[in-house]
A and B are shown apart, each in its own frame.
Chain A
Amino acid sequence: MEEYRLELKHVSKSFGEVQALEDINFHLGRNEVVGLLGDNGAGKSTLIKIITGYHRPTSGEIYFNGKKVDHLTVPMARELGVETVYQERALAELQTLWRNIFLGRELTSSMGFLDIQRMKDETHRLMTESMGFTSHAVSPDSTVGKYSGGEKQGVAIVRALFFNADIVVLDEPTMGLSLKESAKLINFVNGIKQAGKSAIFIDHNILHVHNVADRVVVIDRGKVAGEFQTKHIGLNELMDKMVRVAETGSLS
């Protein structure tokens, strides 16, 4: 059996007295889209931030492609093929588009000098190729703070998709997007699946999740409340289960 792209074993995370995650066992297959569902405050974003290396787990182990990784950092997670669209978008609004696209991984010479022209060229190419997320007023030199909510979201998404990830993590990516833009995003996620990669997808919109995910994992109050394959479950049944989890804390 091929190893999982990602596996979390008995991962817990607490912030002082607050137990955000408790004994999480989670895995992501080689060509799988997993939908992460759960109420606000359930711990989904914390789980994401552990996978991306932003938080360190209080206990438990993380495995990438079968190999254990200790002290995972954000640059390490990137190297291991994780790209993220954060709920907070992680943009710098006073800066230009090209600085945002290459945020934290600027193209440089060996001495660290910026290759600004190449970054602008790439940004321009990305924009023209992903039309629909960006309007004509958006150029590599434009300030991101001036964009609409949907355009800002588009920047965060395009940035994550550009860097050739094996695992794309999307935390509420359709927030702030129009219907048409949301549909486009769903297509992108399907494209990730078709390209042989994997994705983790958080969205409150069950329609989106059901549409795109192979498997759904439900998080409630810091624990995994249940998981199931979406091909076996219809939308109504999924909705019922979600409500039951929110009310009782478990699927049964």
Chain B
Amino acid sequence: MNTQDKAKSLEVAQHYKPPFTLRRFIRTNSAQLGILGVFVTLWIIFIVSAPRTFLAPQIYSAFMSSTPFFAIMAIPLTIVVIAKEIDLSFPSIMAMGMVAFNYTYVATGFINNATIQVFLAIVAALVTGGIIGWLNGFIIVKFGIPSLVVTIGTQFLWSGAALVLTQGANFSLEYIKQTFFYNLFVGKIGPYFPMQMFWLVVVTILGWVLLNRHRFGAHVYLIGDNINSAELMGINTGRVRIQVFMLVGVVSAFAGILASFYVSYFWPTLGAGYLLQTLASVFLGGTSVLGGTGTILGTFLGAFIIGAIEAATVAVGLTGFWTNFIYGLIIVLSVIMHTYLRKRGE
């Protein structure tokens, strides 16, 4: 078949469109339907147990206020896990991003214009996140060290660096309120819709498009599935793997900005509480630690389940002591469900 024939064949190839059947739809999307089922079930339980709380808008506004700070990082983390890697250092990248933010703001004091300074500080934070992410990826790929090990190390390294560079100082970021960035990142639309939720939706959509509609995402799935096959067929696996870590780096720095803006305060220990919730969101959503499978929607729903449990536990009348127990119960049961669905699909 010469090139002309091949070009011709590409024009006349019939449009492949299998008839829609419910069975096929369920089978293809079993992971997402699974977590959606868990989500809806829990939601119904919450409404029935505490109708006054869960039929009013305030609690949802609270969820949309607090969940995005870690949910945003769960999106690129999903991509990392699909690539059969893991990143435990993203909390420290949140902090380091803000260290760069603050340093840049102070260093550009001569400009004497809060908006420009904050803009430059934001850029510095994101670039710092990208560089730290790149460094993670470089060490992992170049030296062939498992990402679990490397990112445990860099989590300590960079969270420690943040403390050293700031000498443990914490301080107000009130000046950000003078700029439009404050409302842009953490303001409110109407009485109930927080901007950080908007940004979560943006990151989610971008993540979905990247993973499902771009060659990069196709390569991520292939590398996570069988890196040897990917390399035999010419995929630059080293480059893709470094890029997924850079993605986590940039987005974590962004999450750090959102979280810091929300309280208009800088803590060098920023990020410390987010590790487990973010990871749990990814696995709750059905992404397998074995690589090659996973969905953005699953993570999105998983994050909101995690985000809701604490408030829901209390609203339902249980003490806060129950929170971790219920987290654990839901996570373990959901992961068993996902594994069952996957095995059944085979």
Contact = CB atoms under 8 A, between A and B. Distances in A.
A122 B226 CA distance: 23
A143 B225 CA distance: 12
B225 A146 contact: no
B16 A54 contact: no
A141 B18 contact: yes
B222 A95 contact: yes
Interface string A93-126: 1110001000111101000111011101111110
Contact of A94 (B214, B225, B230): B225
Contact of B16 (A74, A92, A121): A121
A43 B230 CA distance: 22
B140 to A, nearest CB: 21
Interface string B1-25: 1110010011001111010000010
Nearest to A102: B218
B214 A95 contact: no
B157 to A, nearest CB: 32
A103 B15 contact: no
B113 interface: no
A155 to B, nearest CB: 12
A13 B18 CA distance: 48
Interface stretch (A83-91, A220-228, A237-245): A83-91
A195 B346 CA distance: 40
A140 B15 CA distance: 12
A104 B292 contact: no
B232 interface: yes
Contacts of B232: 52, 54, 74, 84, 86, 88, 90
Given A74-B233, A141-B28, A125 B13 contact: yes
B109 interface: no
A75 to B, nearest CB: 4
Contacts of B214: 108, 112-114
B15 A117 contact: yes
Question: Interface size for chain B: under 10, 10 to 19, 20 to 34, or 35 or more residues?
Answer: 20 to 34
B13 A114 contact: no
Contact of A123 (B2, B16, B234, B293): B16
Contacts of A52: 232
For B28, B231, B233, B293, the residue with the greatest tally of chain A CB atoms inside 10 Å of its CB is: B233
A2 B97 CA distance: 62
Contacts of A143: 345
A118 B15 CA distance: 8
Contacts of A164: 1-3, 6
Interface string B216-233: 101001100110111111
A95 B292 contact: yes
Contacts of B226: 91-93
B18 to A, nearest CB: 7
Contacts of B235: 103-104
A151 to B, nearest CB: 15
B215 interface: yes
For B230, B234, B345, the residue with the greatest tally of chain A CB atoms inside 10 Å of its CB is: B234
A145 interface: yes
A47 B226 CA distance: 23
Contacts of B24: 141
A250 interface: no
A27 interface: no
B231 A54 contact: yes
B344 interface: no
Nearest to A49: B232
B50 to A, nearest CB: 41
Nearest to B291: A94
A204 interface: no
13 contacts: A90-B229, A92-B221, A92-B230, A93-B226, A94-B221, A104-B222, A104-B230, A112-B214, A114-B213, A114-B214, A121-B13, A141-B24, A164-B3
Interface of B: 1-3, 6, 9-10, 13-16, 18, 24, 28, 213-216, 218, 221-222, 225-226, 228-235, 292-293, 345-346
